[in-house]
Amino acid sequence: MTRPNRKSDHLKLWAVLRIVGRSRAVLLCAILIIVSGCQHFTRKSADVPYLQAATAIKYPELDQVVDPVAHFTPRPVSLTTGVPTEFREISLEEAVKLALSKSTVFRDLGGVVLTTPGAVRTPLDPAIQETDPRFGPEAALSAFDATFAANLFFEKNDRALNNEFFGGGTRILRQEAMVYQAEIAKRTPFGSEFTLRNFIDYDDNNAPGNAFESAWNFNVEAEFRQSLLRGAGIDFGRIAGTSNIPGVYNGVLVARTNTDVSIADFELSVRDLVDEVEDAYWNLYFAYRNLASRIAARDAALATWRRVEALRDRGRIGGEADKEAEAREQYYRFQEEVENALSGQLFDGTTRSETGVYLAERRLRYLIGLPATGEAVLRPSDEPTRAEIFFDWDICLEECLANRAELRRQKWMIKRREMELLASRNFLLPELDVVALSRWRGFGENFARYHDSAPFASALGNFADGNFQETQVGVELAFPFGNRQAHAGVRNAEFLLARERALLFEQEQRMVHDLSNALAEVERSYRVLQTVFNRRQAAKERTEALQAAFDADKVPLNILLDAQRRLANAETDYDRTLISYSDAIRRMHLVKGTLLEYSGVHLSEGPWPEKAFEQGVDRLSRQKVIDNKLVPTHRVISAGTAEL
């Protein structure tokens, strides 16, 4: 889109006006139009820098700079940098240890930290859930903390009144007043409320009916309120907390359940990280073995090519041009496979790839928290299992249904729904509260006058005499007709509980299905490992025999080249099947919930605060013996922070 030529338009307008008439008014209007148009065009030009600055992308300035170690990463090794000469032997145990000690974020090879960083798990998640000021256990307990509130106001009034009754006998009221109020309120999980209030007011006015020109009131009152139906009971208080809305539950038991769910998620994240580290470790092992097999095949093809070349140079049978080209093609085919086995190849930039030493080594480095490039290339020092391992089905089934963190997490969710259903039924009851109030009053001309024994000389003195006391006892009843919200809350809680139970049932069925597949895979991979071993041995013996026959000019070249290819494929398939057998064993432990124990990893909650130990001692002291068993008289909830 082009900018309109305003200058040419103005010249045309000027010419038309001169032709139409010579009137000065017309000329003046034309000049005003031209000037206004030029100013508009100039203003548009001046707005360009402003628009550029306003629409430019802005970058935030962080208060604390992130560690810039990523900015100093050296160039990674590749086919153009030459073959590395330094290697670092690393065991699987060391790799897992590095991954757990250096993981500020639980890493994965799928790039979730870039696409959806909010879904990434970190070791800080249980602590974040524990210390959540909205839904954490401490936040739930804070609803039962004693609170203090106070206010103080001064007034000076000077007003004319139409009725002297409202002015205490005068129509011109002049008044100085002060009001002070303070209270301490405490809620309990039993549905009780305790309140202690103090009320002080000072009044100095010109009403002729006053006994004193100024007077003080000093009042102290204590109020007790106990819910008898809705909101009553320690179970409801610890589940719903201070919530008065069905479906909204913020009690300490719900908060602690959320923390337990977060700890289960933390364990799952640790397990998945260990699983990925072990998978990357054995992939690197396979990459080295595959590279060695490809190098051996390439060297054999090179020796064959050189022999055919020598026959061609001497003009002997077997050195024909087509045979030399066929041997040369075989050599370059294996050279291509060596280069791919050394470097690796990415197909979509992230996950789908062909395993290579450099690529597998970088992936392992990323998972265990090492820089992408190091002075020495990592090389596995452990060997995969070759022995046959038997798994007892009944024991594995029992371990699977007892140890899986997913089931424990789901059971916590069911427990939470059960508690929410219990609390939702409480909302069906009407509100019936017992209220008791006791008030002590003090009145006097002065606030404090210790040497005057007159009855109303001092408000504090009159309060101390205890002559003016008031009490109030009563009940309050309230309920909505139909109570549809509470009934909807109960039905919703029942549906949520039914859903969580159905999920638990389906999870158990799926885990049994996965366990069956894992056990069958262990048995299949070991049987195939034996078969591939025999195949490799046969391919090796056939190649050796054909090589000897070829050297004696008894077999054609193409048969030897085919044998070399078969041997190379058999070597690679054997190494791949060996790693597949190790993966099947690891998968079996993963499915039956013992992967962390199998890898030597143990989780525990971090140190608790001293107050938690004090509460534990207090709880133990409050236990009583019933039928030779210790039974707690109350429950104290303490929580620690899970950490690595």
Query: pLDDT tens, 348-386?
Result: 554 445 678 999 999 999 999 888 887 789 999 999 999
Specify the pLDDT at position 76. 79
- Model confidence at 623, pLDDT cuts 50, 70, 90, reads low
Q: Cα 295–297–301 angle (5° rounding)?
A: 115
The answer to whether residues 277 and 336 belong to one domain is: yes
The answer to whether residues 368 and 442 belong to one domain is: no
Whether 64 maps to a domain, the answer reads no
The answer to whether residues 175 and 47 belong to one domain is: no
Closest CA to 88 of 73, 98, 80: 98
Q: Phi-psi bin for 433: left (phi > 0), alpha (psi -120 to 50), beta?
A: beta
Whether 423 maps to a domain, the answer reads no
Specify the pLDDT at position 11. 46
User: Per-residue pLDDT averaged across 445-467, rounded?
Assistant: 82
**Domain span at 331:** 92-130+258-380
The answer to whether residues 503 and 553 belong to one domain is: yes
**Torsion over CA of 154, 155, 156 and 162, rounded to 10 degrees?**
-160
The answer to whether residues 495 and 591 belong to one domain is: yes
Question: Do 473 and 435 meet the contact criterion of CB atoms below 8 Å apart?
Answer: yes
Whether 31 maps to a domain, the answer reads yes
Give the distance from CA 140 to its chain's centroid: 21
For residue range 220-232, list pLDDT tens digits in order. Answer: 999 999 999 998 9
Q: Total domain count for the chain?
A: 5
Measured distance CA(10)–CA(22) in Å, rounded: 17
* Residues found in the chain: 644
C-alpha distances in Å from residue 233, one per residue of 252, 326, 376, 423, 516: 14, 89, 66, 10, 47
Specify the pLDDT at position 46. 58
Give the distance from CA 607 to its chain's centroid: 22
Specify the pLDDT at position 7. 47
The answer to whether residues 473 and 532 belong to one domain is: no
For residue range 263-296, list pLDDT tens digits in order. Answer: 999 999 999 999 999 999 999 999 999 999 999 9
SS3 228: coil
The answer to whether residues 367 and 317 belong to one domain is: yes
For residue range 511-534, list pLDDT tens digits in order. Answer: 999 999 999 999 999 999 999 999
SS3 374: coil
- What is the helix (H) or strand (E) element at residue 412, kind and residue range? helix 405-426
The answer to whether residues 499 and 546 belong to one domain is: yes
45, pLDDT greater than 60: no
Task: State the chain's mean pLDDT as an integer.
Answer: 85
Dihedral sign (CA 91, 93, 94, 96): positive
The answer to whether residues 401 and 333 belong to one domain is: no
State the pairing for strand pair 214-227/192-205.
antiparallel
Q: Which two tokens stand for residue 430?
A: 């009407």
Whether 87 maps to a domain, the answer reads no
Q: Which two tokens stand for residue 585?
A: 């064993």
C-alpha distances in Å from residue 72, one per residue of 316, 361, 375: 59, 19, 14
Whether 1 maps to a domain, the answer reads no
The answer to whether residues 597 and 628 belong to one domain is: no
The answer to whether residues 218 and 328 belong to one domain is: no
155 or 44, higher pLDDT: 155
User: Per-residue pLDDT averaged across 377-400, rounded?
Assistant: 94
Measured distance CA(509)–CA(519) in Å, rounded: 16
Specify the pLDDT at position 91. 94
Closest CA to 233 of 426, 424, 425, 417: 426
Closest CA to 287 of 233, 364, 234: 364
Specify the pLDDT at position 33. 47
Whether 161 maps to a domain, the answer reads yes
C-alpha distances in Å from residue 6, one per residue of 11, 19, 20, 44, 48: 9, 20, 21, 12, 18
Whether 69 maps to a domain, the answer reads no
451, pLDDT greater than 80: no
Whether 425 maps to a domain, the answer reads no
The answer to whether residues 637 and 599 belong to one domain is: no
